[in-house]
Amino acid sequence: MNQRTRWKIRPPVPDEYLNASDLSPLVAQLLYNRGVKLEDIDLFLSVDRRLEGNPFLLPDISQAVSRVYKAVLSREKIAVYGDFDVDGVTAIVILVEGLSRLGAEVIPYIPDRVNEGHGLKISALEKLRAQGANLVITVDCGVTDLKEVKQTQDMGMDMIITDHHIPLRSLPRAIAVIDPKRKDSVYPYPDLAGAGVAFKLLQALFHKDDREKWLTRLLDLVVLATVTDLVTLVGENRYLVKEGLRELNNSSRVGIQEMVKLAGLKPGELDAEDISWVLGPRLNAAGRMNNASTSYQLLTTQSSEEARLLALELGEKNAERQKLTKEVLSRAREKLATKLHLPVLIEGDESYSIGVIGLVAGKLADEFYKPAIIINLGPESCQGSCRSIAEFDIVSALAECHDLLTAFGGHPLAAGFTVMRQNLAQLEERITGLAMDQLGRLDLCPELAIDAELPLATFSGEAFNLIQKLSPFGRGNPQPTFLTRQVEVIECRNFGNQGEWLRLKLKQGNVTWQAVDFESQRKQEEIPSHMDIVYNLEKSRWNGEEVLSLNLLDFAPTQLR
């Protein structure tokens, strides 16, 4: 918990919005805070098919459909080239299963994080050519790989790009470049995950086909990608997540069933948080620790015994990943001790595992509220992973350094790059200069957006169920956050492996609530007797019973704020 977190209470909902919406004041406030217009309230709350985008509005989709059908009819082999994270792997499975159902012969290709990294690699494409592929379809990559796409066409293979990353000024010379973030795209929902774009391509391919209804079965994969990849959960993504959770809770994939069982989750009750905190990290662990093919096999196996072994393997890899992240974080934090005054934290080492540098950068960016770049130093070439803050677009900063980089890509808050070691010092100097210009005069501190200041008594009765109407929650539609002042601490004790968390009993007037604090890392003796608290509401288990409790995000002694 950052001591300098700024509490920002949203302005109250205007009367005209409240009166016109015919909703409880609490729900109206939450919708207003999320920018939902009056005319869109019904659609936001019902989350129905009206939110589905027409796949034929995606750029180049017709060219892609024609070329795929040509490949299917002439028995050409189609390669599907993806990425090694959850989004990339699920997108490969989606296309492989969909194209196979159309009768195509499909070769999946998952690059290796350590030896190949993100994006298209000529050596891999040559292997696919040798295996007889005439058409390559990318998922979750390719839109910035101009040189590789040209070389692929020169090799005699056609290429269809499906991606969701921001394109460069010019597009690859492929048969089709399907990306809702293209400047000329008229698709209404630009924020699909890579797996979402792959799914839309299948919708176009199966349009008016008897088998179109079968596509619903793939939504368990779409939801895993959409939640794990942290795309905004508004518009079509909201619909895909709602329907995807329904499919995930009834998934016929034995691998998913085994992973859910092994993780101690309840089948039939999975929500977006279970994906964020449990299933997503397990599926990502394979690509972080060695090769993502374990996750691919888990999602596609028909054998219960193989599924059990793969789920166990992913559980072990995830534990190993957690341990390695802790070690690299501790080493990086130590080495950064003398650089904490700088506007951007940059740290590299030969020993930093490529699989966890992004996670470490994310933890440092959260802890110090500054952009963080962690680099694996190779003898000649180095790989970096960046995580940023709202005030600094990291991918634009990398674009300004493109002359020094071998490759780069990503989003404003998360990006990656490859740089030759001899250019590293210059890159560090240039990015530090850019950060100094943009952040130097700002008083940087994280903001905690608060939906409403309310007494604890508000949440008795139906309030929690009303709030749940806004789910699924995620980026763009966060869990509602509340502030209550002058709460008395009746009980407080530490728990967890190292006693790093707190369980509390809180009272205001004649209302008593259970609360947990996973954030502050404080000891019980440091907790004031009366405090102002910022929290989410959540269901948790206490003594074997499911109860509503408060999940504390921040607090301060009463009167001091």
Third-level CATH fold of 55-210: inorganic pyrophosphatase (n-terminal core) (3.90.1640)
Q: Please give the Cα distance from 521 to 517 (Å, whole number).
A: 8
Give the pLDDT of residue 2.
Answer: 43
- Looking at beta carbons, which pairs linking 2-5 to residues 24 or more positions away fall under 8 Å? 2/367, 2/369, 2/445, 2/446, 4/445, 4/446, 5/445, 5/446, 5/447, 5/448, 5/554
H or E, element range at 349? strand 345-349
204 to each of 71, 104, 178, 212, 255, how far by Cα in Å? 16, 16, 12, 10, 28
Return the pLDDT at 561: 46
Predicted local confidence at residue 134, as pLDDT: 96
* 13's tokens: 């909902």
The model carries a pTM of 0.91
Task: Tell me the percentage of the chain whose pLDDT exceeds 90.
Answer: 81
The answer to whether residue 104 scores a pLDDT higher than 70 is yes
Higher pLDDT, residue 347 or 494: 347
Q: What is the DSSP secondary-structure string of 50-80?
A: GGPPPGGGSTTHHHHHHHHHHHHHTT-EEEE
Q: What is the mean pLDDT of the chain?
A: 93
Convert the pLDDT of each residue in 514-530 to its tens digit.
Answer: 999 888 777 777 888 99
User: According to the model, what pLDDT value does residue 526 have?
Assistant: 80
pLDDT for the residue numbered 542: 64
41-85 pLDDT, tens digit each: 999 999 999 999 999 999 999 999 999 999 999 999 999 999 999
Query: Whole-angstrom Cα distance, residue 357 to residue 410?
Result: 15
For residue 22, the model assigns a pLDDT of 83
Class of domain 6-15+448-557: mainly beta
Q: How far apart are CA 185 and CA 33, in angstroms?
A: 28
Q: Give the pairing type, strands 501-508 and 482-495.
A: antiparallel
What gap in Å lies between CA 516 and CA 492, rounded to an integer?
10
What local confidence, expressed as pLDDT, does residue 525 receive? 78
State which fold the 340-439 domain adopts: Diaminopimelate Epimerase; Chain A, domain 1 (3.10.310)
Q: How confident is the model at residue 176 (pLDDT cuts 50, 70, 90)?
A: very high
